[in-house]
Structure 1
């Protein structure tokens, strides 16, 4: 694996949660962990080759005041603002429509996919 630099930054959640950044050489992976939107998230994800971002909610959930997690559109906006290369949405709520999650994020960021069990992502 070579040398890895792994750092943890506080996220915004009801329970302790962290944004995890892994850097190896000129490659960067960022995982949002459980968090609601906060402005520094884009700073932490800045320039990531791969941004794994939770997207538990849809925009309507945020408008209804649901806390502690991101909506897919917020993940897309954060990826765009951070200038990441690729976005993978994860932490899908089983009762949400994944096509809607993808569509909400795609309004802001095109190079995205939905995480799935067994998938392998290369940085």
Structure 2
């Protein structure tokens, strides 16, 4: 077998791009109050975050690495799994145990989940 035929016999690596819809959570200071508001919102939309891609946008707050880890832990306890982080300054970095830093995301309009749940629970009567 020549090296050319061996290279042709190798299976494909299977590396290709994917695009997914992700929701971005953008905490506001003070974080404890923001978490309280998140808890209230989540009570009206139980299970909303389950199985959804969630990005943590830290542009509106300045948190230390320890505080960021604590916030991610608080979100995890609420069943919110963070797949990536955006909104850090150009010189800010996080350690290897954090979700990856993301760039290039763009905002899209999203219907408020609490309103979407109300619509599905109470459909308007047909005329």
TM class by shorter-chain length? Answer: 0.3 to 0.5
User: TM-score scaled to structure 1, two decimals?
Assistant: 0.41
Higher strand share: 1
